[in-house]
Amino acid sequence: MIQLRNVSYTYPEATTPALNGISLDIAAGEVCAVIGPNGAGKSTLCYTIAGFAPYHFRGELTGEVVVDGRRTVEHPLGELVKHCGLVFHNPLNQISGARYTVREEPAFGLENLGMPRPYMQARVNDVLELLGIAALAERSPFELSGGQQQRVALASILVMGPRVLLLDEPTSQLDPHGTKEVFAAIKALSQTGVTVVLIEHKPELVAEFADRVIVLHGGQVQLDGAPRAVLADPRLPPLGVSVARYTQLAHTARERGLWPAQAPLPVTLDETVAGFELPSINPSSSRPAHGSGQ
């Protein structure tokens, strides 16, 4: 679905590239999380896949970017956005202000495509329900909280039915409940064949919902693999990425003999609980041997 071949991108007047020789293949229906420190190139990667770099931001792009069978440099941005939806970090950058209610905001894009009214109404209702904001349908987007606005911005992209969805920190302004709802919606979309690339700084959620994790540093791919392997990798801190708190806990426990050396380090709460319940590290199971005099 997404192919990058030796892709580099340099912003106008920058002296070093924001992306430097990246090659990736991301399959249809895959949820791919991108993590890394500030300035690693995460947002630029999304902009490049969407075609915003170089069309919107200008700058110099080398290499080849193919999305849904289209080389981005061969198609105008207005054509690319029909197939690849980008949700920005700040929802106010995305809410049009041309419509007055939450219900009308997602419909705006469909109106521009000339979609029949019954289709638009049904499509908007489905997306608002999916994101848990149907009760806000008649309110102004500018009266909502930051987290609610973020979901409205996401709805405006989802309603267009893109085959590729790019999300730049989609839950940064959401509470834990809203975050879970959005991630569940993202996972449901991927199961329909939508390819999702998301920038996210919450390793526990990445571990639960992502199929793959890519670590960027200095505009290059440093780690790429399954969430459990990448998120527990000891090379993360030197790359400016914090490991999950559950991984840190288990690592400390291992140093004190409370976590089996052969057991993998956990990246989720459930894995951590299950690990501490293993017989080999359960204090109650070790007491009889300790008192046997051997």
Looking up tokens 């606005």, which residue turns up? Answer: 149
If 0-12 CB within 10 Å is exposed, 13-18 middle and 19+ buried, where does residue 171 land? buried
> If pLDDT is split at 50, 70 and 90, which confidence band does 177 have?
confident
Q: How far are the Cα atoms of 31, 103, 154 from residue 146, in angstroms, in the given order?
A: 24, 17, 12
Is pLDDT above 70 for 91? yes
CA atoms within 13 A on the CB side of 185: 23
Q: Whose structure tokens read 């030796």? A: 6
CATH topology of domain 2-243: Rossmann fold (3.40.50)
Residue type, 161: G
Say if CB 130 and CB 158 are below 8 A apart. Answer: yes
CB crowding 220-245: b at 16 or more within 10 Å, else e: bbbbeeebbebbbbeebeebbbebbe
Can the peptide bond before residue 54 be classed as cis, meaning omega within 30 degrees of 0? yes
Predicted confidence (pLDDT) per residue in 114-172, tens digit: 889 999 999 999 999 988 899 999 999 999 888 888 889 889 999 988 999 999 988 87
The pLDDT of 72-91, averaged and rounded, is: 87
Its pTM stands at 0.84
Burial class of 255 by CB neighbour count within 10 A (0 to 12, 13 to 18, 19+): exposed
Structure tokens at 85: 């939806």
Q: What is the pLDDT of residues 221-280, one digit of tens each?
A: 999 999 988 998 888 989 999 888 888 888 889 888 888 888 888 888 888 888 887 555
Is pLDDT above 90 for 79? no
Residue 286 pLDDT class (50, 70, 90 cuts): very low
- In the chain, what percentage of residues exceed pLDDT 90? 44
Mean pLDDT of the chain: 87
Residue 258, pLDDT score: 86
pLDDT attached to residue 269: 82
pLDDT number for residue 279: 57
Domain boundaries, the chain: 2-243, 244-289
